[in-house]
Amino acid sequence: MSTSAQRQAANRRYRLRHKEECYERTRKWREAHREEYLAQRHLHYQLNKRRILTNNRFRKAKIKQEVFAHYGNKCACCGESHIEFLCIDHINGGGIQHRKYINTHGGTEFYAWLKRSNFPLGFRTLCHNCNFAITAFGYCPHSKAL
């Protein structure tokens, strides 16, 4: 093993043993050198844009698939199963207030919250048409029982 590889391995072991100390040191450096840090991040993004966007797309799709797999992969009202048409519905309403309370804007942020919260009760899968009809009219034309 070369000297450089040995040094890298030793640094890795040190960071693992002193994780909190390293995080704190890094946080302080970022605060003290904010402009330099932001310039480095911007440059990294420009150099790796395609890979970053691909990874983000994959990560978002994976979270969405996990959430719909848990709450059912089809609309609870009409049975639509194309994931592109599905969304998560608050069964008892109050979705806007709930998303404000947990400080998310919906979409992947909300799906990630559901996953972090171990898929709580009170949610179901609906297609966007059924969800809109319930919101706008108080019932869905497919089934007035909802």
Q: How many CB atoms lie within 10 A of CB 64?
A: 20
Q: Identify whether the C-beta of residue 113 lies closer than 8 Å to the C-beta of residue 101.
A: no
pLDDT tens, position by position, 22-48: 999 999 999 999 999 999 999 999 999
Q: Which of 100, 97, 87 is nearest to 133 (CA)?
A: 87
| pLDDT reported for residue 145 | 52
Reply yes or no on whether the pLDDT at 146 is more than 70: no
DSSP H helices in the chain: 3-17, 19-32, 34-47, 49-71, 95-101, 108-116, 128-137
**Whole-number Å distance between alpha carbons of 8 and 130:** 55
**Whole-number Å distance between alpha carbons of 32 and 40:** 14
Take residue 105 and report the two structure tokens written for it. 């804007």
Q: How many residues does the chain have?
A: 146
Which residues are paired to 87 by β-bridges? 126
| pLDDT reported for residue 132 | 92
What do you get for the CA distance between the two ends of the chain, in Å? 66
pTM comes to 0.72
pLDDT top residue among 2 and 34? 34
User: Which percentage of the chain shows pLDDT scores above 90?
Assistant: 73
pLDDT tens, position by position, 63-109: 999 999 999 999 998 899 999 999 999 988 888 888 889 888 888 99
**Domain residue limits, the chain:** 3-47, 50-137
Q: What region, left, alpha or beta, does residue 86 occupy, with left being phi > 0 and alpha being psi -120 to 50 degrees? A: beta
Q: Which of 59, 37, 36, 46 is nearest to 107 (CA)?
A: 59
| pLDDT reported for residue 142 | 81
| pLDDT reported for residue 29 | 95
| pLDDT reported for residue 94 | 87
